[in-house]
Each structure stands twice: as structure tokens, then as C-alpha cells.
Amino acid sequence: MQVRFWGTRGSLPKPGPMTLRYGGNTSCVEVLSDDGTLVVLDCGSGIHDLGLALVRARDGPMHGHLLVGHAHWDHIQGLPFFAPLFSDADRWDLYAPGGRIQQLEASLGNLMSYDHHPITLQSLEAQVGLHDLTEGEFTIGGIRVITQFLHHPALTLGYRLEADGAVLVYASDHEPHTLHPLAAGPGEPPIHHEDQRHVRFLAGADLVIHDSQYTMDDFPAKAGWGHTPMERAVDYASAAGARRLALLHHDPEHDDDTVDAIVHRAAERAANAPHKPDVFAAAEGQSVELPRRPLSDRGVGPRPSALLPSEPPQAATVLVVEDDPDMLELIRLHLRQEKLRVVCATDGEAALRVAREERPSLMLLDFNLPFRDGFEVCRILRADGEERLRDLPIVILTGSRLQEEAVTEAFLAGATDFMMKPIKPPLLRSLVRGWLMRQRPG
Ligand SMILES: [Zn+2]
Ligand SMILES: [Zn+2]
């Protein structure tokens, strides 16, 4: 399997003398399997040069597959400038996370509407197939593609590609569910069960390409922006037993010398970890060949299909547990606009009863409740005899920024995620949609 970086920058293209070595174009990675299957990961501005190179090298009709992690601008802005889409001999299949509310065609169609670009999605000359994805797996040629949601303000998938006796994981953009404990040693496994699941997604990879836009020093000012500090990218790769780690999504404020310094520190951290991945910073134009090794002991188990049917699934049920009537009404209003079925409880005892009766797909749980507090509700559900209650995603609603001990205690009690009050409606909708999209294949 051949991997080539065409765009490595995060957030904003940053060409110029300060980014000559690592590159200024936004995310785009080309993957070519031994049987000639062509996969492109993300279509940031780097895809422009890839498109020109593909057209120059063509010796017949082209069939490519474009896997989009999410629809943030820096990951799709190059698509309207991708030359192979303008040849009627070619076919391109586009894949992106989607669902009943946000369909891939809607987001790409919006980007390529006359308001933003002179050529619309419908007028491309290549044959274009659009595919909505959720968590699961599917195959492209000889490549097994496994998808798993990342933790980012927009619905985002990571991609794990298994082919030719090699494993490649592309995980951008992603923020740890928790950085706690802050003093974790190099390579120490995370405590949050979703972070542990993320590490399993990277397991045994020959190459992990991972968001590492920040460092732990930058992070406090950037928490919630959806990116990983370099230290945690190293820890995840180490805990996963990955062979190599490519740092990606370089911050537009980081010039080449700063990236050098980050790589140096990352290599030091890796050298002190129990398992020592080889760390480098992805550079535009760089190629990496992944060696052939046995897959059997490091592949992930079978998963359901990641390809979503075109008809929308039935309305999911969300349980909202909140003792403040105004807050309860506000949340209920916003979730109903999303065509969700909302059931409510106003104390901990009732929360447990309704969770058992109504089979919700998600619980939003205020932490300060009468009778039983949120910690206790979490602990009881996680110890329940029914698997669906043990695995029910529980998003804690909290009025203030929690202290580290409280965060750790909440995650140990089984909380899945947090949302701070006052509730911001777009964030609420995006977070709820993200958790409802997740299947729990293990
Ligand atoms: Zn990004
Ligand atoms: Zn993003």
C-alpha cells in the first residue's frame, strides 16, 4: 500500500516561506493499493495538485474513491478544483458521514452551488456516486474500510484501511474525550471508555495519520475546538501498538521550525513510552510505502455495513433528565425540531424507571438531581443486567466547568460526554445527532 500526502495543514491553507518544508495545503492523502484501487482521504486544497498529477498520469478511464472525514471547509474546499471530476470518462465515488438530517449531497451541493462556485455538483462531467456512511465497514476493491466516529464539533468519521497486509488509520479531526489525568505518562492508556475505543480503532496499525494540531501547552485555550494535542496522539499510537505515527493537521500558526520542535518532543515522548512508534510530521509531497505483514492478529473484528440506506431511519428516542422546568422545555423544543421523540424525567429515580421503560438511544442527564444524583444514575445503569442500558450513551449536562477530580469521577461512573450550560442550540443538535449516529459494534 502506497500513501502520499498532498495536504497536511489544518484549518486554513498557509502557503509561504514559513511552511515550505511541511506544506501549506489543507488535508488530502492519496492511497493506492497493490491492485490499483485509488482512495483519496479528504479533499482540502491539497487535492488540486493530486488532480493535476492524476490527469497527467492517466492511461485510460479512471475510477477513484473519495473518503471525506467531515464537511468542515478545510476538508472539502479543494473538491470543486479536482480536475478528474471534469472528465466524462471517469467515475468517482464520494463517501462521507451522513444520516437522516444531514445528507452528503446537501453539504456538497451547498458548497458547489452558484452562490459559492460557478459549477454545481450536478454539472460535473464525471459520473459521481454519493454514499452516506455511519460506523461499520465496507470494501473498496481489495481494501477493507472500517469507519469509526471521531470526537469533533461536526459529525466526523475516522477511516481504517486494511489491504496488502498493511493497516493505515486516518484520524482527523479529533479531540480527546478527556485529557485527564493531565499528568499521564508517555504511552499510558486513556481512562475514558470512548478514548479507549479510539485506541482500539488504531490497534496494530502500520501507519496512524493523526490530528495533532496542538500541544498540551496550547490546549487549554483551544479545548472544544476538536483537535488533539501531540502528546495524546503519541500516547494513543503507543497504546495501540502502532508502528509509525504521522502528525497531521499542522496549525496554521506553526511554521516549519515550530513543527520540527514538536516532532522532536513527540519523538522523545515516544522513546519513553512502553511501545515506541516512529513519529514524523507529515510533509506535503511525502510518500510512504507500508510493508506487507500478517493481518490476522491485528485486524478489527467484523462490523455491520457502514453504508447507510437512502431512506431515513425511524425517529430515535432521547431521554432528557433535568429538574429545571425551563431548561427541560428548551431542550425538548430543540430536539423536537430535529424530529426526535423526547421523553423526560425530573429526578434520578424517575430517570432509571423511564430509561428501562422507554428504551432511549441517548440520555441527556443533569448532574444535580433530587433523590439520586447523576453519578449514581450512571453507576446503576452501567451495572444493569441489560446490555443496551450498560452501553447507553449518557451526556452529562453541567452548569459549571468541572474540576479534574469531578471529571475523572464522572467518567469512572460511566458518563460518555459533557455539555456545559448555558446550552447552545447548534452544539446541542450536533452533539445529539453525533451520538445517535453511533452504532455500538464493540
Ligand atoms: Zn480540519
Ligand atoms: Zn474540522
Give the residue with greater pLDDT, 241 vs 118. Answer: 241
Ligand nearest to the CA of 74: 1
- At 299, the pLDDT band (50, 70, 90 cuts) reads confident
Of 319, 370, 367, 327, the closest CA to residue 345 belongs to 319
Which residues place a Cβ less than 5 A from the ion ligand 1? 74, 173
Residue 7 has pLDDT above 60, yes or no: yes
Residue 103 has pLDDT above 60, yes or no: no
Candidate ranges 103-107, 190-194, 279-283; pick with highest mean pLDDT: 279-283
**How many other C-beta atoms lie within 10 A of the C-beta of residue 60?**
6
pLDDT at 227: 97
Over range 422-429, report the average pLDDT: 83
Ligand nearest to the CA of 248: 1
Residue pair 289/33 in contact by the 8 Å Cβ criterion: no
User: What value, to the nearest 5°, has the Cα angle with vertex 355 and ends 350 and 357?
Assistant: 95
User: What value, to the nearest 5°, has the Cα angle with vertex 251 and ends 198 and 438?
Assistant: 25
Residue 440 has pLDDT above 50, yes or no: no
CATH number, domain 2-289, options 3.60.15.10, 3.50.50.60, 3.40.50.2000, 3.40.47.10: 3.60.15.10
Q: What are phi and psi of 185, to 5 degrees?
A: -75, 165
- The rounded mean pLDDT for the chain is 90
- pLDDT, tens only, 206-242: 999 999 999 999 999 999 899 999 999 999 999 999 9
Over range 345-370, report the average pLDDT: 91
Buried b (16+ CB within 10 A) or exposed e, 255-285: bbeebeebbebbbebbeebeebbebbbbbbe
Q: Where are the alpha helices (DSSP H) in 81-218?
A: 104-111, 193-201
Structural domain boundaries in the chain: 2-289, 317-437
Q: 390 C-alpha vs ligand 2 centroid, how far in Å?
A: 30
Residues 6 or more apart in contact with residue 97 via CB below 8 angstroms: 68, 69, 70, 132, 133, 134, 147, 149, 155, 156, 157, 437
Residue pair 326/229 in contact by the 8 Å Cβ criterion: no
317-437 placed in CATH 3.40.50.2300 = yes
Q: 75 C-alpha vs ligand 1 centroid, how far in Å?
A: 6
Q: What are phi and psi of 350, to 5 degrees?
A: -65, -35
Q: 164 C-alpha vs ligand 1 centroid, how far in Å?
A: 29
- At 442, the pLDDT band (50, 70, 90 cuts) reads very low
β partners of residue 168: 161, 207
Residue 191 has pLDDT above 60, yes or no: yes
pLDDT at 312: 47
Crossing angle (nearest 10°) for helices 374-382 and 404-413: 30
Q: 418 C-alpha vs ligand 2 centroid, how far in Å?
A: 19
Strands 91-97 and 127-133, how do they pair?
A: parallel
Residue pair 384/390 in contact by the 8 Å Cβ criterion: yes
